[in-house]
Amino acid sequence: MIRYSAITIFLLLAAFVIQQFLPAFTGLHDSRILLVQLVFLCCAVTVGPPTMLILAFIGGFFWDAQCALGPHGGDSEVYTQQVESMRFGYSILLFGGMGFLMQGLQPLFKQGKWQFSALLSGIAVFFYLAAEYAIINFVRGDLVLTRSTVLQMAYTAILAMLISPAVFWLLFFVAKNCNHSINPEAGRRTRRRSAY
Amino acid sequence: MKPLNLIALLFFLGGAVWALTRSERSVREIQAAYYSAMSPFLKSGSKIETHARKFLEETRHSKELEIELEETREQLGRLRLIESRFRTIEDENKQFRHALDFKKATHFDVVAASVIRRNPTTWWQTVEIDAGSNRGIGTQLSVLSNEGLVGKIDRIDNGGERSSVLLLTDEKCQVAARVEGSPEVGILNGQRGGLGGDPMLRLRFLSANASVRPGQRVFTTGRGGVFQPNILLGTIESVEKGALDSEAFVRPAVNFANLGAVFVVLSAES
């Protein structure tokens, strides 16, 4: 269990490295594979709340460290209405929220129905982006929502959904090698069926 | 709720509050530490990308390269002619300036850099360039291309070899701008949710009855202490008049989808 949790943390950190080299798909409204969020979501459904919260903190903290923008600078008499920056650390709460959403599907996942989790990971990515965009609108004022923005979020969610089976496969592989079962009820049912 | 889960939740909320209350300086320190940890991966990633690009270039048909070489030779000859003409004009210009005791035109001291990659963010428009503090680059310096203003330096990496550029298309990049051939000045910035393919800029705070029309060019005013004056920003596409002020939509002069070489302005004498 501890070994598996440690590996999920390592996988999340590795996702940060790989994310640097994943380009945006210009043909799909600049959508991209949000690997960090995806790995976090897939891990979140396979671990308990304490590990999920550790992963959420690490994920959100490093995501903000990667993306935070500096102050505008310049003469405040000329730039009187400066555009607000997002507060460092807001992603930690977003990651936490997404993690709890995924934990809600844990009973189904434990029964071996990982497909629901794969579907939800895409939906969670969409909600994550929508929440982030809503915060930007709230902080900076004016609600600006274009068709392109919605499509960008939708395509990003679909990409996450398509990649999630691969991440789940990796997690099953890791769990097997750590002698840890991430869907014990499914395992029990399989054993029962083979006994008959 | 299990006691362990409750304790974990309290620790998580405590950690989130701690992160949310970090000062600007500590955020920059955290970012510097993050990027210095990431630096070896980014370096090796860039190397692999360069090798891959070279390999792909080598596999191009030799005939194609021959044609290209021939065309380049022709162009080189033409450019040499233009250059010699340019030198003559420059010398003449110098003499005239000296004779008329002209003030020196704005002169930029620049550092050339290449765009390595776009940063993997959804909402922020930033790119990374292969020049940092080791070449005299600091934050808030303006970045140009041969087409116009690209943006400004937002962050320098610890190693001093890279820096991050906030693009003009980002909503947070504000530029004091003026419209050519009119007394109108305003603040230009990117649009929220403006995507990379065909981004438009917003020129706000123009006067209510602003006499600006599509096709007019927009330049920096030089006010505000960040950007030098008279740098081309773009061309007005449309104008929306309001009761209190007007707003113009500007097509950027720079092709942000195909950014290659850029120049960081270290200093500018006026």
Q: Is A80's pLDDT higher than 90?
A: no
Can you say how many angstroms the Cα of residue B50 is from the centroid of all Cα atoms in its chain?
Answer: 22
Question: What is the reported pLDDT for A189?
Answer: 63
The number of beta carbons lying within 10 Å of the beta carbon of residue A177 is: 11
Question: What is the reported pLDDT for B45?
Answer: 80
Residue A77 lies in a domain: no
Question: What is the reported pLDDT for B140?
Answer: 87
Average pLDDT, chain B: 83
pLDDT: which is higher, A194 or B187: B187
pLDDT band at B95 (very low <50, low <70, confident <90, very high): low
Residue B169, chain A, CB below 8 Å: the answer is no
Residue A80 lies in a domain: no
Question: What is the reported pLDDT for B236?
Answer: 93
Q: Is A119's pLDDT higher than 60?
A: yes
Which tens digit of pLDDT belongs to each residue from B98-157? 556 544 544 678 888 888 888 878 888 899 998 888 888 888 899 998 888 999 999 888
State how far the Cα of B125 lies from the Cα of B257, in Å rounded to an integer.
11
CB-nearest to B123 from A48, A49, A132 is A132
CA distance B22 to chain A (A): 7
Which tens digit of pLDDT belongs to each residue from B25-37? 899 889 888 988 8
Residue A53 is part of a domain; what is its CATH number?
A: 1.10.1760
Q: Which residue of A has its CA nearest to B38?
A: A17
Provide mean pLDDT across the span A4-14.
93
Residue A75 lies in a domain: no
- Helix (H) / strand (E) element for B217: namely strand B217-220
Q: What is the tally of structural domains in chain A?
A: 1
Average pLDDT, chain A: 86
Residue A185, chain B, CB below 8 Å: the answer is no
- Label residue B54 exposed, middle or buried (CB < 10 Å: 0-12, 13-18, 19+): exposed
Interface probe for A, chosen from B17, B49, B123 (most Cβ of A below 10 Å), is B123
Contact indicator for A139, A84 with CB cutoff of 8 Å: yes
Question: What is the reported pLDDT for B102?
Answer: 44
3-state secondary structure of B88: helix
Which tens digit of pLDDT belongs to each residue from A85-117? 788 999 999 999 999 988 888 888 888 788 888
Residue A82 lies in a domain: no
Question: What is the reported pLDDT for B61?
Answer: 67
Domain that holds residue A133: 2-69+87-195
Q: Which residue of B has its CA nearest to A23?
A: B120
A71 with B123: Cβ contact below 8 A: no
Residue A153 lies in a domain: yes
Q: Which of these, A78, A48, A35, lies nearest to A167 by C-alpha position? A: A35
Question: What is the reported pLDDT for A2?
Answer: 84
pLDDT: which is higher, B215 or A179: B215
The number of beta carbons lying within 10 Å of the beta carbon of residue B95 is: 10
Q: Which of these, A134, A152, A173, A171, lies nearest to A34 by C-alpha position? A: A152
Structure tokens at B108: 């930029």
Q: Which residues of B touch A17 (CB under 8 A)?
A: 38, 41
CB-nearest to B19 from A71, A72, A89 is A89
Q: What is the pTM of this model?
A: 0.79
- Helix (H) / strand (E) element for B113: namely strand B107-118
A49 with B42: Cβ contact below 8 A: no
Question: What is the reported pLDDT for A10?
Answer: 94
CA distance B72 to chain A (A): 31
A74 with B16: Cβ contact below 8 A: no
Residue A78 lies in a domain: no
Question: What is the reported pLDDT for B111?
Answer: 87
Q: Is B265's pLDDT higher than 50?
A: yes
ipTM, two decimals: 0.84
Structure tokens at B113: 């850099």
Residue A63 lies in a domain: yes
pLDDT band at A156 (very low <50, low <70, confident <90, very high): very high
pLDDT > 90 in chain B, percent: 24
Provide mean pLDDT across the span B212-239.
89
CB-nearest to B16 from A67, A68, A93 is A93
B195 with A89: Cβ contact below 8 A: no
Question: What is the reported pLDDT for A196?
Answer: 58
Chain A (107-166) residues lying within 8 Å, Cβ to Cβ, of chain B: 129, 132-133, 136-137, 140, 142, 144-146, 148-149, 152, 156
Residue A95 lies in a domain: yes
**Per mean pLDDT, which range of B28-32, B95-99, B244-248 is the poorest?**
B95-99
B193 with A66: Cβ contact below 8 A: no
Which tens digit of pLDDT belongs to each residue from B150-166? 999 998 887 788 899 99
CB-nearest to B34 from A53, A62, A87 is A62
Q: Which residue of B has its CA nearest to A77?
A: B224
Which tens digit of pLDDT belongs to each residue from B43-93? 888 778 777 767 776 776 677 888 888 888 888 888 887 887 787 788 777
Q: Which residue of A has its CA nearest to B24?
A: A70
